[in-house]
């Protein structure tokens, strides 16, 4: 099977497919930009929809009202202050450590902050990828990757998350303390790193484990000092509402590729979907831990993993 893939996925094909994808994405981006009206697209979604969440939360932080990010009405008002024509209610479900990290965003005008955040975090991701491979195709393949297009268009923080986790995993054995700090900084998306403590401890990588734990502890402590315990209490209180939005489909299922959403889309009950998700998570955790203990997470490949012709 691998031999077949190696013969099919050649450098020439990767280059051609990447150019095709990038061309289509540039056309789509142009059409999207032309369709904007008062910073809204035809569906009523504001420019950089997800980034608007970060920006509105940052504006509240700078006003000394961080806790209001977890209250629907004040947070909606904060969003409207940025994009008045918007009528969408985008909930804030990030822990207070992200408020701490994203606080400077509202120091810039919205569109400048949006563009600057996506560009700088994408460059950080490119730097991590560059450290893993010298292949020229990396630049083209990365630019054409559909998730890159969607992340930039929606104003998400996926570039930053991928850069931090990618750097941490790549440097685990060579720079374990720095790797742990990078992994700890990604704690603003705890659901993406829930396996990391298990894997680090299970594979005996105690230095990055300690560094990551200390980093998370420092971020949480700093957020408590800056925002107070009420901010954390509001975050924990808001989680059930965010969960209800997910279960009802108010948070678009199409953006959430998981076993839970797949089962719910097929008509399964919430309890059944949660059970399938849990079983899948346990299976993935077991396989991943076994692979880490058997040979580690793998060494970065220095050769582009495609055949030369």
Lowest mean pLDDT, pick from 210-214, 231-235, 257-261: 257-261
Lowest mean pLDDT, pick from 115-119, 209-213, 268-272: 268-272
Tokens 């999207």 label which residue? 32
Q: Are residues 125 and 202 in the same domain?
A: yes
Domain assignment present for residue 21? The answer is yes
Q: Which helix (H) or strand (E) holds 201?
A: helix 196-202
> So what's the pLDDT on residue 302?
38
* Contact predicate 138/129, CB 8 Å: yes
Q: Are residues 193 and 262 in the same domain?
A: no
Domain assignment present for residue 304? The answer is no
Q: How does pLDDT run across 88-103, given as a tens digit for each residue?
A: 667 888 999 999 999 9
Q: Are residues 136 and 27 in the same domain?
A: yes
> So what's the pLDDT on residue 13?
82
Q: Are residues 132 and 274 in the same domain?
A: no
Domain assignment present for residue 303? The answer is no
Q: Cα dist. 179→96, 164, 174, 260, 291 in Å?
A: 23, 9, 9, 31, 20
Q: How does pLDDT run across 131-190, given as a tens digit for each residue?
A: 888 888 888 888 899 989 989 988 899 999 999 999 999 998 899 999 999 999 999 998
Domain span at residue 287?
257-294
pLDDT class for 106, splitting at 50, 70, 90?
very high
Domain assignment present for residue 305? The answer is no
Q: Whose CA is closest to 180, among 189, 171, 191, 190?
A: 171
> So what's the pLDDT on residue 6?
64
Q: Are residues 241 and 261 in the same domain?
A: no
Lowest mean pLDDT, pick from 162-176, 203-217, 252-266: 252-266
Q: How does pLDDT run across 66-82, given as a tens digit for each residue?
A: 999 998 889 988 988 88
> So what's the pLDDT on residue 307?
38
> So what's the pLDDT on residue 4?
64
Q: Are residues 167 and 287 in the same domain?
A: no
Q: Are residues 262 and 226 in the same domain?
A: no
Number of domains in the chain: 2
Q: Are residues 14 and 87 in the same domain?
A: yes
Domain assignment present for residue 45? The answer is yes
Q: Are residues 154 and 225 in the same domain?
A: yes
Domain assignment present for residue 57? The answer is yes
pLDDT class for 295, splitting at 50, 70, 90?
low
Q: Are residues 193 and 164 in the same domain?
A: yes
Burial 22-55 (b: 16+ CB within 10 A, else e): beebeeeeeeeeeeeeebbeeeebbbbbbbbbbb
> So what's the pLDDT on residue 5?
63
Q: Are residues 229 and 268 in the same domain?
A: no
Mean per-residue pLDDT over the chain, rounded: 85
pLDDT tops 90 at residue 58: yes
* Contact predicate 166/178, CB 8 Å: no
pLDDT tops 60 at residue 298: no
> So what's the pLDDT on residue 1?
54
* Beta bridge partners of residue 37, listed in sequence order: 40
> So what's the pLDDT on residue 203?
83
Which of 246, 277, 303 terminates a domain? The answer is 246
Q: What is the mean pLDDT of residues 256-271?
A: 84
pLDDT tops 80 at residue 38: no
Domain assignment present for residue 94? The answer is yes
> So what's the pLDDT on residue 301?
41
Domain assignment present for residue 64? The answer is yes
Q: Are residues 11 and 159 in the same domain?
A: yes
> So what's the pLDDT on residue 135?
80
């Amino acid at each position: 099977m691998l031999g077949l893939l190696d013969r099919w996925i050649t450098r020439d094909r990767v280059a051609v497919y990447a150019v095709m994808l990038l061309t289509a994405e540039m056309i789509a981006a142009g059409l999207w930009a032309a369709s904007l009206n008062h910073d809204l697209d035809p569906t009523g979604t504001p420019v950089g929809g997800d980034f608007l969440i970060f920006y509105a939360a940052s504006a509240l932080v700078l006003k000394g009202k961080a806790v209001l990010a977890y209250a629907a009405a004040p947070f909606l008002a904060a969003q409207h202050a940025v994009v008045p024509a918007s009528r969408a209610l985008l909930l804030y479900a990030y822990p207070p450590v992200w408020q701490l990290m994203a606080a400077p965003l509202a120091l810039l005008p919205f569109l400048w902050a949006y563009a600057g955040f996506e560009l700088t975090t994408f460059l950080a991701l490119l730097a991590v990828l560059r450290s893993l491979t010298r292949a020229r195709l990396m630049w083209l393949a990365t630019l054409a990757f559909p998730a890159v297009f969607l992340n930039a268009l929606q104003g998400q923080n996926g570039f930053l998350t991928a850069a931090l986790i990618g750097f941490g995993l790549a440097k685990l054995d060579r720079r374990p303390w720095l790797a742990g700090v990078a992994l700890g900084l990604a704690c603003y998306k705890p659901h993406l790193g829930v396996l990391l403590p298990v894997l680090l401890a299970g594979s005996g990588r105690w230095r990055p484990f300690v560094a990551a734990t200390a980093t998370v502890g420092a971020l949480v402590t700093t957020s408590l000092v800056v925002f107070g315990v009420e901010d954390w209490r509001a975050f924990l209180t808001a989680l059930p509402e965010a969960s209800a939005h997910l279960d009802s489909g108010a948070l678009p299922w199409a953006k959430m590729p998981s076993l839970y959403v797949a089962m719910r889309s097929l008509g399964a009950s919430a309890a059944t979907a949660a059970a399938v998700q849990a079983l899948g998570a346990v299976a993935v955790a077991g396989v991943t831990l076994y692979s880490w203990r058997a040979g580690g997470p793998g060494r970065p490949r220095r050769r582009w993993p495609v055949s030369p012709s």
